[in-house]
Structure formats: C-alpha cells, structure tokens
C-alpha cells in the first residue's frame, strides 16, 4: 500500500514527533499571543499592549522550547541568549527615533541570517532528508540570505554609509540577470542533491543577489524595501520551522510574512508606487532620483514674531509633522506650541501622512513620546477635506508628503502619491532648515506658492522661538 506523500513529508521533517500535548497547547497559546500582538499594533492606543503581549508570547515560546528539547548544549545556548539580550537592550535603549528604521532593518536582517544558518546546519546533520526537506532548505537559505544582504544595504542607505540615490553599475541588467540565473541554478541543485557545499554556494550567491536587488532602489523607496525584506524574513523563518519540525516557527514566520506583505502593499499605495517598479525599475539603467541641489527660485520668509501673529489670530491650525521634526527631536516643543494655541481657544490637530518620517507609525511614536493626545492625530483621508477651512497649515520638517508634484499623472518620482493638501489651506507656514529638497530629492512647488511663508532654522530652535513670540502676542 502506497504511503501518503504528505505523511512522508511531515515525517521527513519530524514535525510533531515526540512533542508532549501540553507543549503543543503552549505553542497554541503563543500563536494566539502573536496574533493578538499584531492586532494591537494596528492602533496607537493599543500598540503598547500589543507589544507586551507579543513579547510575553516570545518568552513563553523560548521556555517551552527549552523544556521540550532538553538540556543538550544548554550552556552555549544560554550564553548566546545573554549576548543577544545585551546587544538588543543596549541598541534599543540608545537608538534615537530618527534611526528607528535603520534598527528595524538590522533586526530584520539578523532574523533572515539566522533562518538561513539554521537551514544549513540542519542539512549538514540530517543529510539526505528527501526532496521536500531539500526544497525547504534551498528556499530558507535563498530568501534568508537575500533578506540579510538587502537589509544591511538598506541600513547603509538610511545611515548615509551608502549613497541613498539609486546605484546602477554598467551593464546592470546583465549582471543582475546572470546572478539571478546562477542563484536559481544553485537552488535547484541543492533540491536535487542535498549537498551542504552547494547550499553554502547558494548562500553566497543569494547574498550577492540581495545587494543587487537593493542597489538600484532610490532613497524615498527604501522604507518599502525594508517592509518587503521583513516579509522575506518571515517566509524564511516559516520554512525553517518546517525543517526543524517546529509548528510554532511555521506559524510565526507565516504571520510575519503575511503582515510584511500587506504592509509593503499599503506603503506602496500610500506613496503611489508599484513594488515591481521599486525593485526592478533600476534595471532599465535610469535613475528615479530627483535633484539634490538647493532651489534658487524666490520664496517668502518671515521671523518668529510675524508667524506668531498668523498663528495667534487663526481659528483652526493643522500641524503637519515630518522627518525634520524627528531629526531635531522637537516633538516636546511642538506639543508646547500646540498647548499654547489651544489655550487661546484655537482648534489644532496633527495631520499624519502614512509614511511621514521614514516608516509607517514613525510619527505616531514620536508624538506619543511627547504625550500628544490620540484624538488630536488625524489621518490623511480625514485631514484633506478640512484643509479649505484651515487658516494656517504649519508644516514642520515635512516636504515630500505635502509636495503638489505628486498630483501630476507622470513626470515626477512621486507622481500618484497621496499627499496632505496643505496648499488648500488659507495660509501655509513652512519650518525648514534650508532649501534643500526632501528625501525624494525633488523640487517642492509649495515652497514658492504666494500663500507660503518660510521660517528657516532647526525645528526645535524655531519652535522654541515661536512659543516665546506667541506668548507675547
């Protein structure tokens, strides 16, 4: 009687064998914790609770795994955990808000590398485990290595260690195409032979492929790539869960992969971009990066006293925070300015673009540090209809998210990107360090609009001067 292929595959991966029922029930509890954590992260009000639930689930997962596996290699594992905890705690506590996307990229890359290494070690121990296990190994090594290399490069772009502009080397299409074909060929050979040596070669080729994948990506699109690589890491972790016979890894990796894929799609929509264009647009050999020099077109500027008068006699003010606010760490002073305005019975709200800062939620977390009430945060879809009734739109360190060039059907790197319609307000006050363009590297016509007044300087210093001037009005 022929055996069921699914049963053979599961047995070859040793899924579920020798795991006590109560351990499996514990894994189910952990999976529920992860799902509730993702649900909690959907809103700023519940994000902290969601984080705690997810962390508790992760701790429980580690404890259950220790209990189920036994004391083998206990000391090296504990030592590795202590080193990882020390590095993670120090990095998380010292990181500034502006560097949060870089930290996310690094953590994501480490996850992909870990999954790939586990797959290589598992293949070395079990040897010829059958085609299903070899297929999972090849997939884990390939995707994990691509995620690691790509994440390290995105870290370099965001940290200004590597130029943020698209980098297209000569004959890039041939180089990338050749690397892709060699990587796929190595993966097929690993599936057929189960060779550890070929798997190591696959890992090296995948690292090169990950670098080539991210090189042509422009700076403004890097956050989307981070999200996509996060999804890759989740899928590689899920595949490693199959290899190790660990259903919890399978579930957790699938959740991360699904959430990362959905977030990537939503981010691309919020920026009016296609994921395929972001990843493969550079293969055409052209750059999607705009200008980087300062504009020489005329603008209208004013001092703190004049702008304080504009704000003090307004009835409704919409604050549009951006990456410049995070760089200056000016969220607390901005909150002080808003409190001063509301004390004068002026209606003030914060209009939050989905990709304000450099990642979704970046600005929400920044404002939460200053204890900004959640009911003052207004999303793009709700904020835009109210701009015509707004007396002053106060843009603090934002640029691309209020750039009217996005309304052009073509001809701009941000064409089609949904923006906050600040130009529809009766007056616009733009706090800006200089006339240099934003992260997308393109000119912003709003700066030269007759209704726009610029206030140059560091955001924190400028806001401090505005608070002082406003109190004397």
Residues 309, 216 share a domain: no
Q: Which helix (H) or strand (E) holds 244?
A: helix 222-244
pLDDT of residue 220: 63
Cα separations (Å) of 111 from 104, 173, 461? 11, 29, 40
105 in the same domain as 154: yes
Residues 459 and 312 occupy one common structural domain:
yes
On whether the CB atoms of residues 429 and 337 are closer than 8 A, the answer is: no
Is pLDDT above 50 for 312? yes
Place of tokens 């953590």: 107
Residue of higher predicted confidence among 457 and 100: 457
Instruction: Answer yes or no: do 248 and 128 share one domain.
Output: yes
193 and 326, same domain (yes or no): no
- Band of residue 204 on the pLDDT scale cut at 50, 70, 90: very high
Please enumerate in sequence order all residues whose Cβ is within 8 A of that of 113, keeping only pairs 6 or more positions apart, or say none.
144, 145, 147, 148
- Rounded to the nearest integer, the mean pLDDT of the chain is 82
Where b means 16+ CB within 10 Å and e means fewer, 325-351 reads: bbbbbbbebbbbbbebbeeeebbbbbb
* Among 238, 255, 284, residue at a domain's last position: 284
Lowest-confidence range among 242-251, 332-341, 436-445? 436-445
SS3 75: helix
Provide the annotated active-site residues.
Answer: 400
Flag whether pLDDT at 5 surpasses 50.
no
- pLDDT above 70 covers what percent of the chain? 86
Residue 103 forms part of a structural domain: yes
CATH number for position 461: 3.40.50.1220
pLDDT at residue number 465: 92
The predicted-structure confidence for 112-143, as pLDDT tens digits, reads as follows 999 999 888 888 776 666 788 888 889 999 99
Report pLDDT for 392.
Answer: 93
Is pLDDT of 387 > 90?
A: yes
Residues 215 and 257 in one domain: yes
End-to-end CA distance of the chain: 91
Give yes or no: residues 257 and 351 share one domain.
no
- Buried b / exposed e along 68-88 (16+ C-beta atoms within 10 A): beeeeeeeeeeeeeeeeeeee
Q: How confident is the model at residue 3, as a pLDDT?
A: 46
Together in a domain, 176 and 224: yes
In a domain, 122, yes or no: yes
Per the structure, the complete domain to which residue 406 belongs is given by 304-471
248 and 346 share one domain:
no
| In a domain? residue 81 | no
Please identify, among 232, 251, 284, the residue that sits at the C-terminal boundary of a domain: 284
In a domain, 60, yes or no: no
15 located within any domain: no
Query: Model confidence at 193, in pLDDT bands (50, 70, 90)?
Result: confident
Both 241 and 310 in a single domain? no
Quick one: how far is CA 93 from the chain centroid? 19
- Give the end of a domain, one of 256, 284, 312: 284
pLDDT for 394: 93
- Tell me the backbone φ, ψ of residue 348, rounded to 5 degrees: -130, 130
Q: Quick check: is 8 in a domain?
A: no
In a domain, 213, yes or no: yes
Q: Is residue 442 part of a domain?
A: yes
Residue pLDDT, tens place only, 166-175: 777 778 888 8
Distance CA 352, CA 336 (A): 18
Q: For residues 429 and 177, which has the higher predicted lDDT (pLDDT)?
A: 429
Query: Which range (205-209, 278-282, 426-430) has the least confidence?
Result: 278-282
Query: Residue 449: what are its φ and ψ, rounded to 5°?
Result: -70, 135
Count how many domains the chain has.
2
Residue 342 pLDDT level (bands cut at 50, 70, 90): very high
134 and 202 together in one domain: yes
* CB-based contacts of 234, cutoff 8 Å, min separation 6: 252, 253, 254, 255, 256, 257, 258, 259, 260
The answer, yes or no, to whether residue 47 has pLDDT greater than 90, is: no
Q: Cα angle at 5 between 4 and 7, to 5 degrees?
A: 65
Residue scoring higher pLDDT (126 or 431): 431
242 and 102 in a single domain? The answer is yes
Strands ordered across the beta sheet of 316-321: 377-379, 347-352, 316-321, 392-396, 428-432, 452-456
pLDDT band at 176 (very low <50, low <70, confident <90, very high): confident
């Amino acid at each position: 009687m022929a055996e069921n292929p699914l049963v053979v595959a599961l047995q070859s991966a040793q899924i579920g064998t020798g795991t006590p029922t109560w351990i499996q029930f514990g894994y189910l509890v952990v999976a529920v914790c992860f799902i509730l954590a993702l649900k909690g992260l959907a809103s700023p009000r519940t994000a902290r609770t969601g984080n705690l639930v997810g962390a508790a689930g992760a701790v429980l997962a580690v404890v259950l795994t220790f209990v189920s596996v036994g004391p083998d290699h206990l000391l090296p594992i504990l030592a590795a955990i202590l080193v990882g905890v020390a590095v993670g705690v120090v990095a998380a506590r010292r990181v500034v808000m502006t560097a949060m996307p870089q930290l996310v990229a690094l953590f994501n890359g480490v996850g992909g590398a870990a999954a790939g290494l586990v797959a290589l070690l598992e293949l070395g121990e079990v040897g010829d485990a059958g085609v299903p296990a070899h297929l999972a190994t090849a997939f884990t090594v390939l995707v994990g290595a691509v995620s690691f290399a790509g994440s390290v490069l995105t870290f370099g772009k965001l940290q200004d260690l590597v130029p943020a502009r698209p980098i297209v080397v000569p004959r890039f299409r041939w180089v990338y195409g050749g690397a892709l074909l060699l990587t796929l060929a190595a993966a097929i050979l690993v599936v057929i032979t189960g060779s550890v040596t070929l798997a190591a070669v696959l890992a090296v080729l995948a690292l090169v492929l990950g670098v080539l994948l991210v090189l042509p990506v422009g700076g403004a699109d890097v956050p989307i790539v981070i999200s996509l690589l996060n999804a890759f890491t989740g899928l590689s972790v899920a595949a490693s869960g199959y290899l190790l016979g660990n259903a919890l890894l399978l579930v957790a990796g699938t959740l991360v992969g699904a959430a990362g894929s959905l977030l990537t799609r939503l981010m691309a929509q919020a920026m009016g971009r296609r994921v395929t264009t972001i990843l493969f647009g550079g293969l055409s050999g052209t750059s999607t990066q705009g200008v980087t020099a300062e504009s020489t077109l005329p603008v209208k500027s004013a001092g703190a006293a004049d702008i304080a008068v504009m704000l003090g006699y307004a009835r409704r003010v919409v604050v549009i925070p951006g990456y410049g606010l995070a760089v200056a760490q000016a969220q607390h002073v901005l909150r002080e300015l808003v409190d001063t305005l509301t004390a004068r019975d002026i209606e003030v709200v914060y209009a939050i673009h989905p990709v304000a800062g450099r990642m979704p939620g970046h600005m929400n977390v920044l404002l939460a540090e200053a204890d900004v009430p959640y009911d003052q945060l207004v999303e793009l879809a709700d904020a835009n209809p109210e701009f015509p009734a707004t007396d002053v739109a106060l843009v603090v360190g934002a640029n691309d998210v209020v750039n009217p060039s996005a309304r052009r059907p073509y001809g701009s790197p941000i064409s089609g990107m949904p923006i906050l319609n600040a130009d529809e307000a009766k007056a616009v006050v733009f706090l800006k360090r200089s006339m240099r363009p934003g992260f997308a590297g393109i000119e912003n016509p709003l700066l030269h609009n007759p209704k726009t007044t610029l206030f140059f300087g560091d955001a924190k210093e400028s806001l401090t001067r505005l608070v002082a001037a406003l109190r004397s009005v």
